[in-house]
Structure 1
Amino acid sequence: MKKKQLYIGVLSVACCALVAIGITLHLLYPKKQIQNLVKTPPVLRLKPQPADTLKKKPVKKMDFNISGTLRDKEGKGVAGVIVSDGFNCVKTDAQGRYKMKRDSLAKFIYYSVPADCEVPTHSKTDRTAFFYQKVSKGKKIYNFTLTRLPGGKEIHYKMIVIGDPQVTNAYSPYYTSPDDNPIKKSDVERFTTQTMADIRQTISSLPAGTPVYGLSMGDDVQYYGGYNAKLERQIRQALGSSEMRLFSVIGNHDQDGKALYRRKWEENFGPTDFSFNRGDVHYVCINNCFFHRGMSYYSPGELRERQVRWLKQDLALTPKDMKVVLCYHIPFTFGNAPFSKAKPLTNAHEEGHYSSSRLSLLLSLLKQFKGGYELFCGHTHFACNHEINYEGEDVMEHCHAAACGNIWQSNINICGTPNGYYVYSFVGTSISNCYYKGTFWDKSKQMTLFRAQTDFNGEKYSRDWQLANNRNILIANVFNATSHWRVVAVEDGKEYLMGRLCGKGQDAFAAGYHHKYSESVSYRFVSKGNGYLIMNHLYYYTPRNPNARIIIKASDPYGNTYTASSDEAITEPFANFAHYYEKEYKEYKNKKDKMLRDSISGRQKDSLAARKKDSAAVQK
């Protein structure tokens, strides 16, 4: 009985305690918070937070208004300069001052280098462009100091355009002699000792005082072979190692859909959408690599809405008497992995290719400029001055061959064009000259010749292009040709127009070589099997006399005529320029010969010393 009374007493006290707790909770907490508290795990219920900490803290409004002044070295304001944060564009006033509302996503504040000012660079030995400041939290003033050109705006200058350096973290097989014994060399080393060494030689051959600038068309790196945090810095320093001041576009492999990769590019080169001026030309560089599903990207290139808004602002602030050169990585006029709104091309020989959904808008913006416009891109690893009739207008896009060729698997691109770069001459708003400069090639050599029936490791021009089964047909690969070139064969003193081959074919010589020697790139990539390759700079001629010596003359729109002889036709696969450089072979051979001589000399000295020692011993 006593135990029963004790239990009832304890239970009564517990009930009273629960009622007291309930009343206390009701007084301290709203109904919803009590429900949430009851639902939380027991461990958390043991440490209830004070009621005032559950209230949301007010969000502090950020003030993104910024300003600054652009002055020259004498302290005078630089007027009429476009300043941007990558989202908005404004112009400096008469005193060089500007104000703008910075976008919350902006990473840089930068300006469009004026035509009468020097292109600022990272250093005297790294002459890549440095025209920007990184956005700092809380910083509201971004000033810039510009250096005036001593002679004012340049009337003429050279622009060296480099397609796809694309150095990787791998050591690709590399040949230095006419054999099948490769050595290993890093891509950065090849780009530095080959491409940039040749560019320095080209610059040194120009008249003293000629202004020279550079432009990389993107894919400065590719993280094939593994991620390397130093790779972008290494290629930037290589690109900046000559006398030219250089800008770079961002490519798809500089990003590959990864924020880390893009950040590395931005750390080294700055903003991805920007502009600058040289002479009477306004250059606009824009990131047209639109990724979806990871590393996949649209081809032709596309732009986001915010980029279109930025581009419209930049061009609206640009004088309409200038020429505009729009620079980007992926072609806008062709591609076979299109965005849903892209338009199919109407050319029968380019079936499966599309033009960008933005092309019509871009052309409408560019046609406002009385100085005209040019479209510059890279990406493809083949040379192609692509011409289409778009909405009743003839449009040409300059698709630049790659400095790395087939990603450093050879010395040629997949169209047979040698690794190299382009040299443009600008006068006012006109391009007065342009030629392709093969690495370690003389600039007068603008074509290679073949016989249509020559077998290049199972590939023949006659079969690829359905030519007559005639072993005498001559093929000319004219690297920089367009429909405005005149290419003729001279036989017995008479000129005959050569036929032009255009379509989704391939270069038999390049496909055959890469099929045999390319280790890291699939055969599908280098052949017509990729469905992407467009060839339009092959010409053919059937000789009247099979024994005649034929001279090929290729005349460009700038008044240059380049020649080659049928005697130069390549018949031996592949102990030639695709495989190794004669210049490097000589250097390599001389080095080996010297090592051999030094070795022999050393042994002779050792032998002589030994004989002297023996003689001395005998005399003793």
Structure 2
Amino acid sequence: MRNRYMFAAILTAICCIAAIVYALHIWQDKKPQPKQNVVRRIMTPRKPIQKPNATQKKKPKAKPKVPEQPFISGTITDTEGNPMTDVCVSNGIVCMLTDSLGKYQLPKDSTARFVYYTVPADCEVAVHSAKDRTAHFYQPIVKGKTKYDFTLKKLPGGAETSYKMIVIGDPQVTNAFNPYFNTADDNHVEISDVERFATETMVDIRRTIRSLPQGTPVYGLSMGDDVQYYGGYNPLLERQIREVLGSSEMRLFSVIGNHDQDGNPEYLHKWEENWGPTDYSFDRGNEHYVCFNNVHFYGKYPSYYSPGELSDRQMEWLRQDLSLTPKSKKVILCYHIPLTFGNNPFHKAQPLNIASEKGHYSSSRLSALLSMLLEFKGGYELFCGHTHFAINHEINHDGHHIIEHCHAAACGNIWQSNINICGTPNGYYVYTFKNTRLTSCYYKGTFWDVQKQMTLFCADTDFNGESYAADWNLPHKRGIIIANVFNADSRWRITAEEDGVEYPMQRINSRGQDAFATGYHRKYAMATSYHFISKQNSYLIMNHLYYYEPKNADSEIRIIARDPYGHTFTESAEEITVEPFHNYAHYYKEE
């Protein structure tokens, strides 16, 4: 029994000791511990690894963003894939030549609308289509696109040594049906301007091209005012006239005129949509043609400067273009508004100081342009339109004699007759270039014989209240003969042969009017005012009228006109027009 009590006491003691030890351990854990420099790692629970499902697609890795390039570039090759070196490329602001690999690089500019090249002389002029042979040498600049390549087709025989250039002044088709007389009575018909241009001007141009020796290279140039939005805006009009202009065998370029834009951005963009850049260049033969927009509008109701002007940026572009052009070439500047005369000038324009052309000015840019042009050994020519009268305008400027070729309008007085306000018939010009020489130029009246380069009148004839004698203070009742020689200038020799003896005719060269054209339009014109076609138009300069007073009333007389290219044109005095509304002004003869 005693042993049993002792065992119980020992077991109780052991339990007490164990309880004391456990209590001491718990107290030690709860006792504050000294701080230690221990880096603790916070562990995040891992997601369970999932095996890819066959039906699930892996997300593509995001491509690193490539910074937008500050330039546009491209390569120009021929149809065989060979690089085209030294081809001038431009965005209308900067010009550069392609390198030995045919590559180019131009700085980006938010105002640039096209990238384009100067058509080399030994390459074909690319066209819009086989049926629309208007030039297509450009690409519109598209947002996000930086590479623009071109492929050129070499001419089989290399650069042409001789070619024809047909120059068309102011097609100026409108969206109206202008009254037009195609019979000898006064019953007018309504024929659209586009239809008249297609069935008259372009039909005659195709005949002229067919009359040339087979294989003759022929090109065309419209001097602007392809359209006029008289009669309401027609967004298809610019495309219509482009396709008609491109309907012959000639490959055709155009400059932009004032009526193509009229200070309206929508009109300007419509022209660009159909024709491309307004400032560009191209080569044919040994000539370098530079076309630019010299119409600059100002004021709330847009007016434009006359003579024409260029902006500082255009002048810089032109300097770059000409600096990259071989100085052996002839340069032909092409634009709409004359640079050598005009009476709505920019404030820096210079007066002509010609007594017979009072109120006229030359462009403020003429001196700078002349200094650039004089660097070229092949010389230069100045081509324009705009006026609706023919004139090879001559002035002396900075010690140099300048001739500016101002081309009569294909539309005449805007499709209401067959004559311009200077009496020149509706028509176009045919130039011949050989190497750097202008070897021939003649005016081709629509449906007129190519040899007919003048019309004759009697100074006393009353043309609906107008007469040459009254206009130019000529003696009355003396039988004075007036010759209107369409393309004449100071280099021509105009004589009257009376009874076999030649006498010089006197030239009229002054502001004024043509009595026949003024009398006709005074009665029939509706699209323009009498002011525009009369002596009240201070813009109108006549310099291709000549007069002669016969020695005897019964003499046989013929007028002889010799141009500077060796051609002679004659007209008998028996062909003098005495009817106020002769059929070539009122309607075309049946062919």
TM-score by length of 1: 0.84
Instruction: Work out which of the residue numbers 545, 565, 577 in structure 1 matches 2:572.
Output: 565
The residue that corresponds to 1:98 in the other structure is 104
2:566 matches 1:550: no
Rounded Cα–Cα distance in structure 2 between residues aligned with 1:221 and 1:272: 15
Instruction: Work out which of the residue numbers 443, 459, 484 in structure 2 matches 1:436.
Output: 443
Aligned-residue offset at 1:62: 5.7
2:125 matches 1:119: yes
RMSD: 1.0
Rounded Cα–Cα distance in structure 2 between residues aligned with 1:390 and 1:561: 31
The residue that corresponds to 1:139 in the other structure is 145
The residue that corresponds to 2:475 in the other structure is 468
Instruction: Work out which of the residue numbers 345, 365, 371 in structure 2 matches 1:364.
Output: 371
2:251 matches 1:242: no
Query: 1:490 is aligned with what amino acid?
Result: E
Q: How does 1:150-549 map to 2 (within 5 A)?
A: 150-293=156-299, 294-549=301-556
Rounded Cα–Cα distance in structure 2 between residues aligned with 1:456 and 1:233: 39
Unaligned ranges ≥5, structure 1: 1-59, 587-620
Aligned-residue offset at 1:471: 4.3
Per-residue deviation, residues 145-199 of structure 1 (Å, max 9, x unmatched)? 0000011100000000000000000001111111101010000000000000000
Rounded Cα–Cα distance in structure 2 between residues aligned with 1:462 and 1:344: 30
Rounded Cα–Cα distance in structure 2 between residues aligned with 1:362 and 1:543: 45
Whether contact under 8 Å (1:82, 1:112) holds in the other structure is: yes
Whether contact under 8 Å (2:478, 2:549) holds in the other structure is: no
| Secondary structure at 1:195 match in 2 | helix
Rounded Cα–Cα distance in structure 2 between residues aligned with 1:142 and 1:574: 56
Query: 1:539 is aligned with what amino acid?
Result: Y
Whether contact under 8 Å (1:85, 1:106) holds in the other structure is: yes
Aligned-residue offset at 1:530: 1.2
| Secondary structure at 2:303 match in 1 | coil
Query: 1:562 is aligned with what amino acid?
Result: F
Per-residue deviation, residues 76-107 of structure 1 (Å, max 9, x unmatched)? 01111100000110001122111121322100
Per-residue deviation, residues 312-363 of structure 1 (Å, max 9, x unmatched)? 0000000000000000000000000000000001211000000000000000
Moved over 3 A (4+): 60-64
| Secondary structure at 2:586 match in 1 | coil
Whether contact under 8 Å (1:451, 1:471) holds in the other structure is: no
| Secondary structure at 2:340 match in 1 | coil
Per-residue deviation, residues 97-121 of structure 1 (Å, max 9, x unmatched)? 1112132210000000000000000
Query: 2:291 is aligned with what amino acid?
Result: C
The residue that corresponds to 1:598 in the other structure is none
Per-residue deviation, residues 523-557 of structure 1 (Å, max 9, x unmatched)? 00011101000000000000001121210000000
Rounded Cα–Cα distance in structure 1 between residues aligned with 2:67 and 2:506: 68
Whether contact under 8 Å (1:162, 1:400) holds in the other structure is: yes
Per-residue deviation, residues 356-381 of structure 1 (Å, max 9, x unmatched)? 00000000011100000000000000
The residue that corresponds to 2:36 in the other structure is none
Rounded Cα–Cα distance in structure 2 between residues aligned with 1:154 and 1:101: 34
| Count of aligned positions | 525
Whether contact under 8 Å (1:405, 1:411) holds in the other structure is: yes
Whether contact under 8 Å (1:179, 1:575) holds in the other structure is: no
Q: How does 1:53-64 map to 2 (within 5 A)?
A: 63-64=69-70
Rounded Cα–Cα distance in structure 2 between residues aligned with 1:472 and 1:244: 45
Rounded Cα–Cα distance in structure 2 between residues aligned with 1:234 and 1:345: 39
Rounded Cα–Cα distance in structure 1 between residues aligned with 2:467 and 2:271: 41
TM-score by length of 2: 0.88
Query: 1:346 is aligned with what amino acid?
Result: N
The residue that corresponds to 1:4 in the other structure is none
| Secondary structure at 2:584 match in 1 | coil
| Secondary structure at 1:543 match in 2 | coil
Aligned-residue offset at 1:61: 8.6
Whether contact under 8 Å (2:170, 2:222) holds in the other structure is: yes
Rounded Cα–Cα distance in structure 1 between residues aligned with 2:538 and 2:568: 33
| Secondary structure at 1:360 match in 2 | helix
Rounded Cα–Cα distance in structure 2 between residues aligned with 1:196 and 1:108: 29
Aligned-residue offset at 1:392: 1.5
Aligned-residue offset at 1:138: 1.3
The residue that corresponds to 2:90 in the other structure is 84
Higher CA-based Rg? 2
| Secondary structure at 2:105 match in 1 | strand
| Secondary structure at 2:297 match in 1 | coil
Whether contact under 8 Å (1:220, 1:254) holds in the other structure is: yes
| Secondary structure at 2:423 match in 1 | coil
Per-residue deviation, residues 448-474 of structure 1 (Å, max 9, x unmatched)? 000000000000100100111134000
Per-residue deviation, residues 386-433 of structure 1 (Å, max 9, x unmatched)? 000112210010000000001111000000000000000000001110
Rounded Cα–Cα distance in structure 2 between residues aligned with 1:112 and 1:223: 31
Aligned-residue offset at 1:64: 3.2
Q: What is the percent sequence identity of the aligned residues?
A: 66
Aligned-residue offset at 1:253: 0.3
Distance 1:527 1:62, change over 3 A: farther
